[in-house]
Amino acid sequence: MNRLLPIATFLLIQIVASAQSAYVLRPNRVFDGETVHENWLVRVSGDKIEAVGPANMVSTTNAEIIDLKGTTLMPGLIEGHSHLLLHPYNETSWDDQVLKESRALRVARATVHAQKTLLAGVTTVRDLGTAGADYDDVGLKQAINQGIIIGPRMVVVTRALIATGSYGPKGFSPDITLPQGAEEADGHDALIRAVRTQIGKGADVIKIYADYRWGLMAEARPTFTLDELKLIVETARSSGRGVVAHAGTAEGMRRAILAGCETVEHGDAGTPEIFALMKKNGTALCPTLAAGDAVSQYRGWKKGQEPEPARIGEKRKTFKQALDAGVTICAGGDVGVFSHGDNARELEMMVDYGMKPLDVLRSATSINADVFHLTDRGRIRPGLLADLIAVEGDPSHLIAAVRRVRLVMKGGKSYKQ
């Protein structure tokens, strides 16, 4: 009898623990990815959302109640354009990161970036290129998924694709062949091979540079031909993957849109005609407002003390044109150009450049989830992943509230509370 007592006690503890494995989150309001609801509860069981709705409709039986008074509960933010293997350019230039920093150093730094990103309320990142670190984003993603390090869920593109001679680092003797920040490939067979190789190594998405500063020229020009871009898209789609395009020029954007790229990153020199084409073809824009803002400050602009540089004024203009055209707007700041964990900077700038706070929240949650084909997250609904954050205040009225993160939950596990 005495020998059976410890076993019975152990089983009782297990039953009680199992019965209390559910959580009921009680904030002031819930933003479900589309709409704000007052006095709602959210019940989490395991790694999924079990129930959501008015307080009298959600059971609290056998659940731990987490009181989140004064907060808004919302889906975890989805960062649409990040580079966890880069750090701010005012610390170390992009060229020096690619050429002088070891990959071991870059990966070690990236583990810290990943943790800062998650604790800032970002539960998923679309990481758009390793910038010379080969396939290390795949390993970083695996380390997070296996619980070795703390970080957000990752959608990775590995090396990204560039046309020969169009990328960097630049400015060195033509007698020297330098490592590139992405994979060079041209023509039918080489492009198919490069796309398939990246997919085989772990790419969830393929990224291409539809334009860039060729050779020693200061201005960007289109890189791949329209036929080459179509081939890349066709090859990626055959494996169920999409293609995203770095494109800042009108012609680079036009080719990317017509080729079937799902998103255009940056879009600095878009025109009303180009944005109308994006709307017609269902191509989304990831504007990366914060990156341009950061680079201008690195170059000497004293924000708030001096007039905006022409580059910033032009970006305001083209962003408004995209909004007026009804283009789908993703939230993505090109984080890595500026500090990881400061992802809210992009959301604040989207409001400053003309979007309503509620629309920005949608972009950073449900819209990004839809555009990136992440059907298991981005909204607060039964059956979806319990990737949830609570922020103090109401970000649907004051977007800066997204900086005041009180709770971070990923897959039903609390990382910040």
Q: Which residue ranges make up each domain of the chain?
A: 19-75+380-416, 77-342
pLDDT at residue 417 in the model: 85
* Predicted TM-score (pTM) of this structure: 0.94
Mean pLDDT of 186-191: 97
- How far apart are alpha carbons 242 and 137 in whole angstroms? 18
Q: Are 236 and 199 in contact (CB under 8 A)?
A: yes
Q: Do residues 96 and 45 touch, judged by C-beta distance below 8 A? A: no
Angle 306-311-313 from CA coordinates, rounded to 5° = 70
Q: What is the DSSP string of 138-152?
A: HHHHHHHHTTSS---
Helix (H, G, I), strand (E, B), or coil: what is residue 42? Answer: strand
| CATH class, 77-342 region | alpha beta
**Full DSSP string of 240-296:** T--EEEEE-SHHHHHHHHHHT-SEEEE-TT--HHHHHHHHHHT-EEE--HHHHHHHH
How far apart, in whole angstroms, are the C-alpha atoms of residue 141 and residue 72?
A: 29
> How far is residue 241's CA from residue 203's CA, in Å, rounded to a whole number?
9
Cβ–Cβ under 8 Å, residues 285 and 322: yes
42 has a pLDDT exceeding 50: yes
Which phi and psi (to 5°) does residue 37 adopt?
-125, 130
Give the other-Cβ count within 10 Å of 359's Cβ.
16
Q: How confident is the model over 284-318, as pLDDT tens digits?
A: 999 999 999 999 999 999 999 999 999 999 999 99
**pLDDT higher than 60, residue 202:** yes
Question: What proportion of the chain, given as a percentage, has pLDDT over 90?
Answer: 90
Superfamily (CATH) of domain 19-75+380-416: Urease, subunit C, domain 1 (2.30.40.10)
**E strands along 167-258, which residues?**
183-184, 206-209, 211-212, 221-222, 243-247
Indicate if the alpha-carbon torsion angle 336, 340, 345, 346 is positive or negative: positive
Local confidence band at 172 (pLDDT 50, 70, 90 cut-offs): confident
Count other C-beta atoms under 10 Å from residue 29's C-beta. 17
204-263 pLDDT, tens digit each: 999 999 999 887 667 899 999 999 999 999 999 999 999 999 999 999 999 999 999 999
Would you give the DSSP letter of residue 396?
Answer: T
Q: Which amino acid is at 203?
A: A
Query: pLDDT tens digits, residue range 43-99?
Result: 999 999 999 999 999 999 999 999 999 999 999 999 999 999 999 999 999 999 999
Residue 4 has pLDDT above 50, yes or no: no
CB 313 within 8 A of CB 293: no
Beta bridge partners of 68: 27
- CA separation for the pair 368, 363 (Å, rounded): 6
> What is the structure's pLDDT at 173?
87
The tens digit of pLDDT for each residue in 148-158 reads: 999 999 999 99
- What span, in angstroms and rounded, lies between the C-alpha atoms of 85 and 151? 13
| Whether the predicted pLDDT of 122 surpasses 70 | yes
pLDDT at residue 16, as a whole number:
38
